[in-house]
Amino acid sequence: MRKDGKSASGVRPHRYRFAGSDHEAPPLTAALYLVATPIGNLGDISLRALQTLAAAGLIACEDTRVTRKLTEHYGIDTPLTPYHEHNAAEARPKLLARLGEGQSVALVSDAGTPLISDPGYRLVRAAQETGHTVIAVPGASAVLTALAVAGLPTDRFFFEGFLPAKQTARQKRIAELAAIPATLVLFESGPRLAATLADLAEGLGARAATICRELTKLHEEVRRGPLDELARAYADGGETRGEIVIVVAPPSEQAPAAEDVDALLRSALARVSVKDAVGEVALATGLPRREVYQRALALAKEAADGTR
């Protein structure tokens, strides 16, 4: 080793810092590496991920400022380049050219596993179509972490990502999701959380749900309850700062019979208002509030016609 830190060949070794010591990363074969990074806690990174990031010729990332915090923390000096939805068309050919020159490129997202709600799949597809090797370096995932702590069925799940921002489109999409026989996993921003929960409660009924906020971070919060209760809680000012994952239970395996719903509604309508009756029956049956409301209106009309 020369005094300047380079090997006899003049190439500086690829190093990373772990557990207070510097380590040399083994060389990589030329490929596109999909490297999972922590979703919050910097300790949630694998040794293989550190070695890959240190030995890669280039790290393509959503935001270089975010990824630089990770690489500096672990003493990695691999060059960073932005790759995100706004520059992907321009940046993709340059990354493919690097691969064509026999270099290794690591692709990361700001947090978690790349290609989940980001444009990375287009780069993966282009790399594969041009004959380059693509290798996954698995690790942290907000989707799987939320599923693990939600306390809801995990045998089948459907990842929706972000629902539409506009209410009409959001409600339409929720109606499409209602019949999917699987646990639903969604991402949401803090400012839209209360409105989204209200629409989910209306469209899916009083299904069990879990709100996972700031997973693995200092202020991690996991809050469980029926969708309508959660909607009211966050409408009343529940904490919404940070990254949020919503996990919603699948529909009941056996839907209540129509005559049973009608019987419950007739009993409730004899005691309380239509609004309260709908809420009571939706909670008892797990049916979407909108569906119960339509049936309540029909029963009320039948009752009115019968008294004429």
Q: Which of 122, 140, 158 is the last residue of a domain?
A: 140
Based on the domain organization, do 162 and 219 belong to the same domain?
Answer: yes
If asked whether residues 133 and 108 sit together in one domain, one would say: yes
The span from the CA of 97 to the CA of 107, in Å, is: 15
User: Residue 289 — very low, low, confident or very high, per pLDDT cuts 50/70/90?
Assistant: confident
The pTM score is 0.79
Q: Judge if 233 and 215 occupy the same domain.
A: yes
Provide the 10 A C-beta neighbour count for residue 102: 9
Q: What is the rounded CA–CA span in Å between residue 279 and residue 271?
A: 13
- pLDDT tens-digit readout, 61-107: 999 999 999 999 999 999 999 999 899 999 999 999 999 999 999 99
Mean pLDDT of 273-277: 85
Q: Which amino acid is at 185?
A: V
Residues 44 and 104 in one domain: yes
19 and 63 share one domain: yes
> 226 φ, ψ to 5°?
-65, 150
Same domain, 174 and 109: no
Last residue of a domain, one of 200, 218, 248: 248
Q: Could you give the number of structural domains in the chain?
A: 3
| H helix runs in 63-150, sequence order | 64-73, 88-100, 120-129, 142-150
Q: Which residue matches tokens 């694998």?
A: 46
Please enumerate in sequence order all residues whose Cβ is within 8 A of that of 64, keeping only pairs 6 or more positions apart, or say none. 80, 81, 82
Q: Could you tell me if 177 and 105 lie in one domain?
A: no
In a domain, 77, yes or no: yes
Q: Domain range for residue 205?
A: 143-248
What residues have CB less than 8 Å from 160, skipping those under 6 apart?
Answer: 173, 177, 184, 185, 186
- Helix axes 274-285 and 258-269, enclosed angle (nearest 10): 140
What token pair was written down for 255? Answer: 């839907």
Rounded Cα distance between 14 and 239, Å, is 43
**Does residue 1 have a pLDDT over 50?**
no
Q: From 114, 140, 166, give the residue that closes a domain.
A: 140
| Interval 98-115: pLDDT, tens | 999 999 999 999 999 998
Instruction: Name the CA dihedral angle for 69, 70, 75, 79, rounded to a multiple of 10 degrees.
Output: -80
Mean pLDDT of the chain: 90
Query: Looking at residue 237, which CATH number applies to its domain?
Result: 3.30.950.10
Same domain for 226 and 274?
no
**Spatial distance between the Cα atoms of 146 and 149, rounded to a whole number of angstroms:** 5
In-domain check, residue 114: yes
Average pLDDT estimate for 170-186: 94
The whole-angstrom separation of Cα 97 and Cα 105 is 11
Q: Identify the pLDDT of residue 81.
A: 97
